[in-house]
Amino acid sequence: MASRAAPVELHIKAAPWAVAAPFLVAVADPDYTLEEMGRDMVAGAVAAYTVDDGAGPVAAFLLRVESLPSGEEAVIVAAASRAPRGDLTRHVLPGIEALARAVGCRSVRFHTGRPGLGRKAESIGYRLAETVYRKDLF
């Protein structure tokens, strides 16, 4: 019988921009640059968090709260990891959900162009809510 490694306990904590930014540089793009992310954090539009596995940060994400007719919704604005054990999606999303519930949010949303991430999220209860198409004009 194959043995399974004990699950690593992950901790989400608020983080200063200087700690979160090195992770998020990997997901910055022309639509939301690292500079814009930093300005949003300084302005209070988003909050930065890190995910720590006990040996230090292994991931970071930005979160904002939007008011909708149905209640507050947490929006994962950007997220990235460099965890040596691979994908952390199934482990980190529940922690983000708990954080969102703690601040009174009724739902969590993220946008992605990665079909694989969508499939992982669907496997833990997320549903497809929208599809976004974009055409660059310049």
Tens of pLDDT along 61-119? 999 999 999 899 999 999 988 766 666 788 889 999 999 999 999 999 998 888 888 88
Q: What phi and psi values does residue 129 have, to the nearest 5 degrees?
A: -115, -25
Q: Name residue 118's amino acid.
A: G
pLDDT digits 0-9 by tens, 21-57 = 999 998 888 888 999 999 999 999 999 999 998 888 9
pTM over 0.75: yes
Beta carbons of 58 and 52 less than 8 angstroms apart:
yes
CA atoms within 13 A on the CB side of 37: 29
The CATH H-level (homologous superfamily) assignment of domain 11-123 is Gcn5-related N-acetyltransferase (GNAT) (3.40.630.30)
What does the domain layout of the chain look like in residue ranges? 11-123
